[in-house]
Amino acid sequence: MADTGTSNSDASCVDKLKSYVRTMKGTILAAEILISLIVIICYAASNSGGYSAVAICEMVFAMIFFGIFMMELDKQFQVMNWVWSDLFRAGIGALLYLITSLICVISSGGDGARIAGGVFGLIAGVLFAYDTYTIFLQIKSTRQHTPASTDDRV
């Protein structure tokens, strides 16, 4: 999952962080963490802060997967399929963000912070959906398809 190419086990955590954030997956996960933090701040400033639960959960899950992929723990702990787990995390996150954000934007009732949280939540939903799409393409490209035999002698 980490696109660094080289596995430097003696590199410091900061070096691994810098090199992982430069990858496409690292940039997407860092953006998901940042946009989730912005949504949490907006919902916390609104009159009804109950919508922040989705943003908190998705930010925590994105941080966990960021740490796992950054430290290349997905290659060490092969008990579970990390790519499929990341696909489900991103897909569910996109769906939940889009639903809660649409609810907040449609029924705002004059609460500006909730509208802002809803707008940033829609952006987060699109970002999580893009992450889901990139993970799906990765899964699709790693599948091994065996071509059908074209031999005329059966």
Instruction: Evaluate whether residue 115 is within a structural domain.
Output: yes
Instruction: Evaluate whether residue 154 is within a structural domain.
Output: no
Q: Domain span at residue 40? A: 13-140
Instruction: Evaluate whether residue 145 is within a structural domain.
Output: no
Instruction: Evaluate whether residue 30 is within a structural domain.
Output: yes
Q: Which residue has the higher pLDDT, 146 or 57?
A: 57
| Structural domain count, the chain | 1
Question: Is the pLDDT assigned to residue 154 strictly greater than 60?
Answer: no
Nearest to 46 by CA among 129, 124, 105, 130: 105
Question: Is the pLDDT assigned to residue 95 strictly greater than 60?
Answer: yes
- C-alpha 76/C-alpha 152 separation (Å) is 45
Instruction: Evaluate whether residue 89 is within a structural domain.
Output: yes
- C-alpha 5/C-alpha 22 separation (Å) is 12
50 secondary structure, DSSP code = G
Residue 13, number of CB atoms within 10 A of its CB: 10
**What's the mean pLDDT in 19-33?**
93
Instruction: Evaluate whether residue 104 is within a structural domain.
Output: yes
Instruction: Evaluate whether residue 69 is within a structural domain.
Output: yes
* Helix, strand counts (H, E) of the chain: 6, 0
- C-alpha 63/C-alpha 52 separation (Å) is 16
- C-alpha 48/C-alpha 143 separation (Å) is 45
